[in-house]
Amino acid sequence: MDGIVLPNEVKECDVIIIGCGLSGMTAAYEMLKLDPNIKLCLLEAKDRIGGRTLTNEINIGGGQREKFDLGGQWVASSQPDILEILEELNIKTYPQFINGTKIMQVGQGNIIRTYKSDIPSLGSYWGVIELQLFIWKAEKLAKQISIEDPYSWDKAQEYDAMTMETFVRNNARSQSVRDTIQAACRSVIDICILNFRRSSGCDLDRVSALFFLAYANSAGGVMKLLLATENGAQELRVKGGTQQISEILADRIGRENVQLNQPVSAIYQDQTEFITVHTLTGKIFRARHVITSIPPNCVTRIQFSPPLSEDRKLLMDNMPVGHLTKFIITYDKTYWRENGFSGEIVSNGGGPLLKCSTGPISVVYDATTDKNVPALVGFVAGRPGVEWHRQTAEERRSSILACLAEFFGSWALQPTSFTEKVWADEEYNGGCPVCFGVPGVMFTFSALRRPHGRIHWCGTETSTHWAGYLNGAVQSGRRAACEVMKLNGKNVTQLEKLVSRQPSADVDPLYSFPSLFTPIVVSLAVITAFVAVYFF
């Protein structure tokens, strides 16, 4: 292949793990726990480990520096796998700050509204009811879909032929509700709605409705994706950042077993017991088993012999990654808290700005650290993310600050630092936070975890418990470790029990009956009063 230098040695080990993100590191760690003598080779394309976790020290002015997560950052009480790893590594968490007034900009006219309760400000009670009914329906459908094989659902074909956009249009009439769901999905498939966050960094018209519902079910329900309260995806932050998880795991695995700057270019399996793995630097590795944690959108860059099965190829070709740029802005004070705001904004982006069809912001949260460094975190996601990618870094910075000033006041224009991470520019990820399924290919989805000969697959997208999240990365790493160690004759019963845990389906307050009931009663009261005044 182009770029391959002739090899001068072949390194042998028992298992090769490709990719040193959280899933690959977890797979290696769990295998070593089951067999301390196992010989592992971990190959990573980048010059760092951690993959989609990235914790940078930011200069916050006055000679001070502080660590912030530019990749994955939140965990939740409903995410057992990641919490167990954090506990094992003695890494602490702390709650996401959510107290105070929240801001929402959705619907016709891009009006900026504020609200304090869990019920978002959509401009009318009907909007709130409609959103609630939408979530209710999505929740009910999601629960029916098997996470292992979404296509076994009797309505699978119908919902896979539909984009999320169509699903939303069919089930929500008001623009503000549609905007809210769009904002949520852009950031969800990473971050959004009133916390329909963490969307895929993608737009509703690109995602299969079946994929989205199965994705939500892997978290235990749609509302879990949206909330920053207990059990919700944005509930807890990790002291010191999330990249340290992989760093500490690397120490435990042994740094000598981790090779950076080794992009894998080809994997060959023949009738012998060995698989050979080639890297672009010309190195060759041999092992009896391979675990790859490479995200689906990057798998197709690798040459496989024998070739991947048709269903896996079709799936990999049709799981693009979302577009998400993350920004961290630090201030000398938590001005928003002093003014009674939580820091939370959900926005449709407002009107056109520069050459873009909307402003840059989708979602913003308080990002003040456990050491009390005041900060906000936000996302430019989906289509606005792509459009704003064409602007210069300085144009993005000044526009984001100007938008924040419109929401919060002029103090927002005076940060002590501004840092952005454009994940589209990150080689060997090419976007974030997660790869999603486009309509029409979900019949191939069960191929995602199926081994290809002696090649096993992990990575958050392959998870059945919080797929797309840090928890999913850990759970999938554990599952791949089980698969390989079982073949090596090890007793994996305990680990298998952890892997087979089902997502919990706690009822979230927002879609419980009383929260729906309140706006209905108020709306009926308003209508009754109106009718009474008009006719009598």
Ligand X SMILES: Cc1cc2nc3c(=O)[nH]c(=O)nc-3n(C[C@H](O)[C@H](O)[C@H](O)COP(=O)(O)OP(=O)(O)OC[C@H]3O[C@@H](n4cnc5c(N)ncnc54)[C@H](O)[C@@H]3O)c2cc1C
The pair of three-digit structure tokens given for residue 179, joined into one six-digit string: 């905007």
Which region among 40-48, 218-226, 311-319, 492-500 touches ligand X (by CB under 6 A)?
40-48
Residue 79 CA, chain-centre distance (Å), reads: 13
CB of 335 to ligand X, least distance (A): 24
Tokens matching residue 82: 């990641």
Nearest to 227 by CA among 506, 23, 473: 506
Name the β-bridge partners of 533: none
Residue 459 is a binding residue for ligand X (CB under 6 A): yes
Show the beta-strand stretches assigned E in 361-474. Answer: 363-366, 375-381, 417-422, 455-457
Per-residue binding string, ligand X, 117-156, x by CB under 6 A, is: ----------------------------------------
Residue number, 29 or 469, with CB nearest to ligand X: 469
Q: Find how far residue 135's CA is from the centre of its chain.
A: 20
Q: How far is the CB of 392 from ligand X (least distance, A)?
A: 21
Q: From the list 225, 367, 473, 492, which residue makes contact with ligand X (rule: CB under 6 A)?
A: 473
CA atoms of 470 and 81, how far apart (whole Å): 9
Nearer to ligand X, 94 or 530 (CB): 94
What gap in Å lies between CA 167 and CA 138, rounded to an integer? 9
DSSP H or E segment with residue 177: helix 175-188
**Pick 324 or 485: Cβ nearer ligand X:** 324
Does position 53 bind ligand X by CB under 6 A? yes
Cα–Cα distance measured from residue 472 to residue 384, given in angstroms and rounded to the nearest whole number = 27
Q: Which residue has the tokens 């190959």?
A: 43
Cis peptide before 7 (omega within 30 of 0): no
Q: Tokens for 190?
A: 């990473």
**Minimum distance from residue 365 beta carbon to ligand X (Å):** 10
| Contact status: 457 vs ligand X (CB under 6 A) | no
Beta carbon of residue 516, minimum distance to ligand X (angstroms, whole number): 28
- Per CB under 6 A, the segment of 84-92, 137-145, 290-298, 360-368 that binds ligand X is 290-298
Site membership for ligand X, residue 97 (CB under 6 A):
no
Q: Does 350 bind ligand X (CB under 6 A)?
A: no
Within 397-426, which residues bind ligand X (CB under 6 A)?
A: 423
Coil vs helix vs strand at 94: strand
Q: Which of residues 237-256 bind ligand X (CB under 6 A)?
A: none
Please answer whether residues 208 and 438 qualify as being in contact, where contact means their C-beta atoms are separated by less than 8 angstroms: yes
Rounded least distance, CB 43 to ligand X, Å = 5
Interacting residue with ligand X among 27, 40, 43, 516 (CB under 6 A): 43
How many helices (H) does the chain have, and how many strands (E)? 17, 22
Residue with Cβ nearer ligand X (5 or 531): 5
Please report, as ranges, the residues that interact with ligand X according to CB under 6 A: 18-24, 43-46, 51-53, 71-74, 190, 263-264, 293-295, 298, 302, 324, 326, 423, 428-429, 432-433, 459-460, 468-470, 472-473
